[in-house]
């Protein structure tokens, strides 16, 4: 993906601090990584050091390539300097590099000049670059001359490289403390969780001027199944916007949304433990098949090996049109009718939400200017849209929502998503832009060609422009993709999983890779719907659709069709005991009524009360035990 907004980072840490694992997580979203190994091979009599090197190699994905620089420490600067804008480099670590540099085999040499060459290469590096280095300045002064020489040389190298890097982070006991932000701003470190929102106006982080308190968010309601067909009338509920073209209000929180934000990751142990537990359940067949992934995802995002079904679900329907060729073939006013229909509790989306007991919130976003002639949004609109989307996710988390469904219903959204995928993943527009189908079910090839031409012209217009996240949103993405990006970031910060449904959500997930690589790990894709952009984006993001129903009911509706099945799977997985051959007994009484469990009821879908400001998972059932006697949770 684009690396213009996310450049060079130095990761410092002590022995066994987790610095290498943290550095690897920073580049986990890159399709390919060049791993630069600086340390020499372990001596034949040092089995412990050889074991460490083996563990490092085993952690690297198959898509990574490895480059050794131990034979010539001066070559490290050349490797960094030769890296191009589309490359991702992980250098691990500078301690091994300094060790080789001080080796008598490479002396005499001007070590100071070699360190200066490395710092200059880092400062001028066009690639995405992460360097790992031990922090030796916090320990006692070494008692040997060689130890003091190593500490002095590494300290000098760390200072020079830290000065050249855009960001510096210190990892202590697995916890990251940012010492130097990736971009300048009022914050002293990359944004973490959003601070509480004040009621009064505060200075804007973007302009420095006063900003009014945010306008009320659109109404949230739980649709009921309508008794009569849609009459086309206006909804009784309104939104906080006077018109779709109205600029979004800035959220006065001091939150800085910038590249390299460090947001939470799902629990890395709960997911595998949940999958292991499924193999022990008392089921007559082979189990849940591909739906095991849904259980693993829910376990990781809830932090428990026995996740509960998602009880409180909210659908965010983003409504905003794209002007110009992106909307070729769209019926004027059709997206507005769909949004009005949803607000009235009518139509496919509202009916499915009613059947699932899900809340529905229709959100108006700014109309996007034609991408082929100029930016779709200006810089201030992008900042406002990101903050607004973050706020929508925060409000959902505060209301106890445990799963968000992200959808959009604007004219030209598919072309905008295709443009974002082309800019961020190098896709060819015709390969990711779906066919245009008229209301009568006919294929409109002329409209499809006009959409392709608009996307092609937009990409040509921006061929020399930066490809940072905010640049892509401003030039190509538009209001709906920008708000959706903010929703994904805010949901990640509050540990709320998001079910994507359609091109807009997938395009937003692609953009989040530059802002917070952790966001994609909180995303779930139920069905690709046969859409080429969704298929490609999911492949790049590492999201495997759970189903292959090829539904095309409109964004959001496809996910709600799958939701009851996923809920039933989670309820079943949580309630079934282990097989008697593996130490299991009768099924637990999950209802508290001293009767055997006969299937999921409404109590199975009720979420436990959260213990704090963020969502937690407190399962009242006994913790399962796997065959080894270890608690799976």
Residue 6 in contact with residue 261, Cβ under 8 Å? no
Q: Which of 395, 555, 595, 607 is catalytic?
A: 555
Residue 390 in contact with residue 398, Cβ under 8 Å? no
Tell me, what DSSP letter sits at residue 7?
-
Taken in order 171, 175, 177, 178, the sign of the CA dihedral is positive
Residue 433 in contact with residue 415, Cβ under 8 Å? yes
The H-assigned helical ranges of 494-599 are: 503-515, 532-541, 557-575
- Is 555 tagged catalytic? yes
Q: How far apart are CA 5 and CA 7, in angstroms?
A: 6
Residue 523 in contact with residue 543, Cβ under 8 Å? yes
Taken in order 481, 482, 487, 490, the sign of the CA dihedral is positive
Residue 416 in contact with residue 326, Cβ under 8 Å? yes
Cross-sheet strand order for the sheet of 88-92: 65-68, 34-37, 88-92, 128-134, 8-13, 167-172, 175-180
The H-assigned helical ranges of 207-291 are: 270-278
List the one residue out of 157, 165, 84 whose CA is nearest residue 117. Answer: 157
Residue 88 phi, psi (nearest 5): -125, 125
Tell me, what DSSP letter sits at residue 188?
S
Residue 161 in contact with residue 121, Cβ under 8 Å? no
- Beta strands 34-37; 65-68: pairing state: parallel
Tell me, what DSSP letter sits at residue 578?
B
Annotated catalytic sites, by residue?
555
């Amino acid at each position: 993906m684009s690396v213009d907004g996310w450049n060079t980072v130095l990761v410092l840490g002590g022995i066994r601090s987790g610095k290498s694992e943290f550095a690897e997580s920073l580049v986990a979203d890159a399709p390919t990584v060049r791993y630069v190994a600086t340390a020499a091979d372990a001596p034949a009599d040092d089995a412990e050091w050889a074991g460490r090197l083996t563990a490092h190699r085993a952690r690297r994905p198959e898509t990574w390539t490895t480059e050794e620089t131990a034979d010539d420490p001066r070559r490290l600067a050349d490797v960094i300097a030769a890296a191009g804008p589309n490359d991702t480099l992980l250098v691990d670590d500078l301690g091994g590099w300094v060790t080789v540099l001080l080796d008598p085999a490479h002396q005499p040499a001007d070590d100071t000049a070699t360190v200066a060459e490395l710092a200059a290469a880092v400062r001028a590096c066009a690639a995405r670059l992460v360097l790992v280095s031990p922090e030796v300045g916090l320990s006692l002064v070494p008692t040997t001359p060689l130890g003091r020489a190593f500490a002095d040389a590494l300290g000098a190298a760390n200072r020079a490289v830290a000065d050249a890097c855009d960001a510096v982070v210190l990892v202590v006991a697995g916890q990251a403390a940012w010492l130097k932000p990736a971009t300048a701003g009022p914050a002293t470190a990359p944004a973490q969780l959003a601070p509480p929102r004040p009621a009064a106006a505060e200075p804007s982080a973007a302009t420095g001027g006063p900003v009014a308190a945010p306008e009320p968010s659109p109404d949230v309601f739980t649709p009921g199944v309508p008794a009569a067909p849609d009459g086309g009338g206006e909804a009784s509920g309104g939104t906080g916007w006077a018109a779709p073209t109205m600029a979004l209000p800035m959220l006065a929180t001091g939150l800085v949304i910038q590249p390299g934000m460090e947001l939470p990751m799902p629990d890395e142990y709960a997911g595998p433990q949940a999958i292991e537990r499924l193999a022990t359940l008392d089921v007559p067949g082979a189990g849940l098949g591909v739906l095991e992934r849904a259980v693993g995802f829910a376990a990781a995002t809830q932090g428990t090996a026995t996740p509960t079904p998602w009880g409180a679900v909210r659908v965010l329907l983003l409504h905003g049109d794209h002007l110009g060729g992106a909307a070729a073939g769209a019926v004027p006013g059709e997206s507005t009718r769909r949004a009005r229909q949803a607000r009235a509790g009518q139509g496919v989306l509202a009916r499915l939400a009613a059947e699932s007991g899900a809340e529905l919130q229709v959100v108006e976003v700014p109309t996007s200017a034609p991408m082929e002639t100029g930016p779709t949004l200006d810089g201030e609109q992008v900042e406002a849209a990101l903050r607004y989307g973050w706020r929508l996710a925060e409000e959902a988390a505060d209301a106890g929502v445990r799963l968000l469904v992200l959808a959009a219903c604007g004219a030209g959204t598919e072309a905008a998503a295709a443009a974002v995928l082309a800019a961020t993943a190098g896709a060819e527009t015709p390969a990711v832009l779906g066919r245009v189908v008229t209301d009568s079910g006919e294929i409109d090839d002329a409209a499809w060609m006009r959409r392709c031409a608009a996307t092609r012209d937009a990409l040509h217009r921006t061929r020399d422009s930066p490809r940072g996240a905010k640049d892509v949103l401003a030039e190509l993405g538009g209001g709906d993709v920008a708000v959706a990006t903010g929703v994904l970031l805010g949901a990640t910060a509050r540990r709320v999983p998001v079910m994507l449904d359609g091109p807009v959500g997938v395009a937003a997930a692609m953009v989040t890779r530059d802002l917070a690589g952790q966001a994609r790990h909180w995303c779930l894709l139920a069905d690709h719907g046969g859409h080429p952009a969704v298929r490609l984006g999911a492949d790049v993001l590492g999201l495997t659709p759970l189903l292959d129903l090829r539904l095309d009911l409109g964004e959001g509706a496809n996910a709600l069709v799958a939701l009851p099945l996923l809920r039933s799977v989670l309820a079943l997985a949580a309630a079934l005991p282990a097989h008697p051959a593996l130490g299991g007994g009768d099924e637990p009484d999950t209802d508290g009524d001293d009767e055997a469990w006969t299937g999921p009821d409404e109590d199975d879908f009720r979420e436990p009360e959260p213990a704090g400001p963020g969502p937690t998972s407190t399962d009242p059932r006994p913790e399962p035990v796997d065959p080894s006697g270890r608690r799976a949770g």
